[in-house]
Structure 1
């Protein structure tokens, strides 16, 4: 109660001063309050934001401080003018003018802060450089729209017809540009999810595979192994299953199936496969290559050579070298690689007719053995 009485006495004293003196006192008090807010606010907020990584918090604080001080100072001027009746216009017009000035100040400030924040969060990643400006433009459009609505409200302009017109225009634009809008939001979803970035090696659900060359607001460009550029809309990629072979690590495992004939020395086969993997360029030592005996096939003992390559783009090349090396080593070691074949035998009754000639049309007495290892007698 005593503090309220003191403030009341001070206010009565200010009101008792001449107009120009009272006005200067009120404005000076507002400026002093702004300075105190700057000193105290900087110290307190720096302690709070020191634990937050990055420069975004510092950029925001440095950006809004001038607008905050100007708002407090303008508020003091408005109170002084209104209190001592120094303006020639009515109070409503003065209030609308002051609020409009403050709104414009904050409009410019928030747009600049959005631009500075986008520059602060943009790092060396190409995807960020492409997508962050989108957020900046959206932020600027929202700030300008809100500021325009407030300015119209201050001056007593009915915004209902404008809102209705904007709603109809929005529906028309949305129907006309639905694909573009879908691609835009698809690019935002791909960025937020971190699906891929430029340089990643991806495989689409359609079977196309290649390196991501470019990511824009509308589409993504992929360079295939045939050196062909494929442009895919972001809306399509957002609804598709995408395999990113470059994350979380770029190295990838390749599988080389190998079948050897029954009766082969399994220890020798495994030794040959591991030697071929060790002597092949681009095959990593760690994780080390390994051989797995998968199953007893119809005509072969089915093995699989498993090894790792440092880059998914090398899988086809390394598989080629491994297949060549395995085939050459198997030939040198006389390890047989079986293949499906068929032996056809004709009985004596089916081999000739009444006159002893062959009867091609007759199929009686034919015996067939399928999938027998060795050289085929008759190709089927």
Structure 2
């Protein structure tokens, strides 16, 4: 500065000279910052291409070794968002490197961080969705259709809520919000809701238990302890719907079903046993009656020969000898129709064999006093 002043430069001219030098230094500084930020982004962009190539060409060689295709499906689903996640990670580090004003830096880096968390949440959701779909396919193979439509949507909703809640907590933590107070408030609120809706929660937990334990499935015919019976049409979170034989819909809270005795006609298989009781006159040939009952049952279409029908002499009645015929059908829904056909045929065969159905009779003895 003294050299410039000794050469005759004025003070204003000297100040302009230094301002120009500071401006040039500032330009060089920003050019350097932007160049390094661009290099960081370009590196991560190139890295995303490498990661994508590895996931498409190298990783399937390892997943093909496993016995299940679950890892192949997960790998295929997460490849696009993983590549995008690497690119936005590079964008985040590039923005973080720049010496921006504090507010501008907070807003830009925060937005990019939120996008990264959203992509990571999407990756986790895709993995969870593939696992649930794979598990649903296995449920169909083991237990048939029905449970996959009940359990999987519920699990997907719970997983979605959990992932969104986790992502929200991560974002709030990044912006230095007090998460402890939020969690405490949610806990107190959940306790209050649980106390107010304890019956509803009990039914929901019971519904989840029914879906897991599976004492019956959709389409099964069940008998309840109170005498009601019918076919299960739906197993919901709060109630189970049963369609009775007179075409009415019976809606029962799940907690009641979990705490009562239920007879499932469709378990362990749909074969069902029918029973017919008849009375024949005293003096009838019991062996002939048994053979006639069994042969009549075998003539009816739908009666299984294995296990074969069986006839038994069960009791001495007031006016008849009580007989019972047991038979099997392949489907429990055919019991009533088959019973009707067997009854009609028994009347014909008994008439042909001379077997009599006795009417109730009563003999009265009168004693005359002397």
The interval holding the TM-score normalised by the smaller chain is 0.7 to 0.9
Q: 1:205 to 1:59 in 2, by over 3 A?
A: farther
* 1:87 corresponds to: 99
* 1:240 corresponds to: 260
Deviations 1:182-230 (A, max 9, x none): 2322322222223333322222222212122333333222221222221
Task: Quote the Cα distance in structure 2 between the aligned partners of 1:170 and 1:49.
Answer: 45
Name which of structure 1's ranges 332-341 and 305-314 shifts more when overlaid on structure 2: 332-341
Task: Quote the Cα distance in structure 2 between the aligned partners of 1:76 and 1:223.
Answer: 59
* 1:39 corresponds to: 53
Q: CA contact under 8 A between 1:131 and 1:217: conserved in structure 2? A: no
Question: In the alignment, is residue 217 of structure 1 matched against residue 230 of structure 2?
Answer: no
| Aligned partner of residue 345 in structure 1, secondary structure | coil
Name which of structure 1's ranges 278-287 and 204-213 shifts more when overlaid on structure 2: 278-287
Q: Following TM superposition, by how much is the alpha carbon of 1:165 offset from its aligned partner in structure 2, in angstroms? A: 2.0
* 1:378 corresponds to: none
Q: CA contact under 8 A between 2:279 and 2:323: conserved in structure 1? A: yes
Deviations 1:337-361 (A, max 9, x none): 5687654423332xx6xxxxxxxxx
> What is the TM-score with the length of structure 2 in the denominator?
0.73
**Superposed, which structure 2 residues align to 1:64-143 within 5 Å?**
64-80=78-94, 85-89=97-101, 93=106, 98-111=112-125, 121=136, 125-143=145-163
Q: 1:189 aligns with which of 209, 222, 242?
A: 209
Q: Following TM superposition, by how much is the alpha carbon of 1:19 offset from its aligned partner in structure 2, in angstroms? A: 5.0
Structure number with the higher helix fraction is 2
> What is the TM-score with the length of structure 1 in the denominator?
0.71
Q: Following TM superposition, by how much is the alpha carbon of 1:133 offset from its aligned partner in structure 2, in angstroms? A: 2.5
* 1:147 corresponds to: 167
Aligned residues: 330
Q: 2:247 aligns with which of 202, 220, 227?
A: 227
Q: CA contact under 8 A between 2:273 and 2:329: conserved in structure 1? A: yes
* 1:176 corresponds to: 196
Q: 1:53 to 1:116 in 2, by over 3 A?
A: closer
* 2:16 corresponds to: none
Task: Quote the Cα distance in structure 1 between the aligned partners of 2:109 and 2:209.
Answer: 44
Q: Following TM superposition, by how much is the alpha carbon of 1:126 offset from its aligned partner in structure 2, in angstroms? A: 4.9
Task: Quote the Cα distance in structure 2 between the aligned partners of 1:255 and 1:294.
Answer: 13
Q: Following TM superposition, by how much is the alpha carbon of 1:273 offset from its aligned partner in structure 2, in angstroms? A: 0.8
Question: In the alignment, is residue 289 of structure 1 matched against residue 304 of structure 2?
Answer: no
Q: CA contact under 8 A between 1:202 and 1:244: conserved in structure 2? A: yes
Q: 1:46 to 1:86 in 2, by over 3 A?
A: same
Q: 1:203 to 1:51 in 2, by over 3 A?
A: farther
Q: Following TM superposition, by how much is the alpha carbon of 1:101 offset from its aligned partner in structure 2, in angstroms? A: 3.1
Deviations 1:310-333 (A, max 9, x none): 321222332233334334433442
Task: Quote the Cα distance in structure 2 between the aligned partners of 1:224 and 1:46.
Answer: 55
Deviations 1:58-95 (A, max 9, x none): 5533333333223333334444555xx42314699477
Task: Quote the Cα distance in structure 2 between the aligned partners of 1:59 and 1:319.
Answer: 52
Q: Following TM superposition, by how much is the alpha carbon of 1:302 offset from its aligned partner in structure 2, in angstroms? A: 5.2
| Aligned partner of residue 206 in structure 1, secondary structure | coil
Q: 1:163 aligns with which of 183, 190, 194?
A: 183
Question: In the alignment, is residue 199 of structure 1 matched against residue 219 of structure 2?
Answer: yes
Deviations 1:126-150 (A, max 9, x none): 5533543222222221111111111
| Aligned partner of residue 85 in structure 2, secondary structure | helix
Q: Following TM superposition, by how much is the alpha carbon of 1:272 offset from its aligned partner in structure 2, in angstroms? A: 0.5
Task: Quote the Cα distance in structure 2 between the aligned partners of 1:86 and 1:227.
Answer: 72
* 2:13 corresponds to: none
Name which of structure 1's ranges 211-220 and 28-37 shifts more when overlaid on structure 2: 28-37
